[in-house]
Amino acid sequence: MQNIYEIFHKNRHLQKKIIKGRNFTYINLLPLINKYLEGKENILDVGCGVGTIDFFMANKGKKVTGIDISYKAITLCKANAKLLNLSGRLDFFSGDFLSLRISGKFDLIICIEVLEHIKEDTLAIRKIHGLLAKNGVLILSIPSKNSPLFRYGLAKEFDKRVGHLRRYNSQDILEILEENNFLIEEERRVEGILRNFLFLNPIAKNLIRFIKGPISGLVTFADNLTIPLFGESDLIVVARKK
């Protein structure tokens, strides 16, 4: 399974600057992260990829630990932390989350598009619970079974290529969290058919680099209008440790 992720990251490059709140890729996520960052000092990113969100949080003065199964991704994270002068606030480790030994407790854990890649997802949630400090918060995002492209059979090749083992509906994930001693703070259904097509289609994906500034907000606004009609492609859940 690890080879999938090394292939996924093989063409990734160093990040020249820290993303802003209206970054198109993360526009649905960053406002929520900002909301729960207040008062949180020690943060863990499970499946951090090349560290884009970690640099964003570290730049706000937070201490961030990022872990990822991809050695290539973590190598880029470490190099980029130096480039952005954030090494003092960031630690990165490569390894499988369930077997990696992680010390300390965290005020906030983010797990963004990762749980669907882990074979034993319930064990992952239990480990996250154990790593959270008292009243610590988890921000989790996962692909939805309600995705129109998935329901129409147009996401199967994508799911296979990126290593998705499953998708979730709202009931699935809320039950797992509640059964493992989490209180649900909020749930958001995001990414309509427009955004999902841009990220899944290899040709359309090339357009994303041109969606910046006010255009990012306009495209996202239009995309949000499609969710009540066709369904969401992603679920974001915020849960607090009991």
CATH class, domain 2-241, is alpha beta
- pTM of this prediction? 0.94
In the prediction, which pLDDT does 94 show? 96
- 106 pLDDT band, cuts 50/70/90, is very high
- Work out the mean pLDDT of the chain and round it to a whole number: 95
CB burial string 102-122: b at 16+ within 10 A, e below: beeebbbbbbbbbbbbbeebe
Q: Is the pLDDT of residue 3 over 90?
A: no
* Local confidence band at 4 (pLDDT 50, 70, 90 cut-offs): confident
Looking up tokens 């994508």 gives 158
Tokens of 85: 């002068």
Band the pLDDT of 2: cuts 50, 70, 90: low
Q: Domain residue spans in the chain?
A: 2-241
Question: Residue 153: which pLDDT band, with cuts at 50, 70 and 90?
Answer: very high
Longest dimension (CA), the chain: 47
Angle at 185 between CA 182 and CA 189, to 5 degrees: 110
Place 12 in a pLDDT band, splitting at 50, 70 and 90: confident
pLDDT at 1 over 90: no
Minimum mean pLDDT among 9-13, 119-123, 149-153, 232-236: which range?
Answer: 9-13
- Write down the H helix ranges in the chain: 2-9, 30-37, 52-58, 71-83, 121-131, 148-151, 156-162, 170-179, 193-200, 213-230
What 8-state DSSP symbol labels residue 207?
G
Q: Is the distance from CB of 240 to CB of 135 less than 8 angstroms?
A: yes
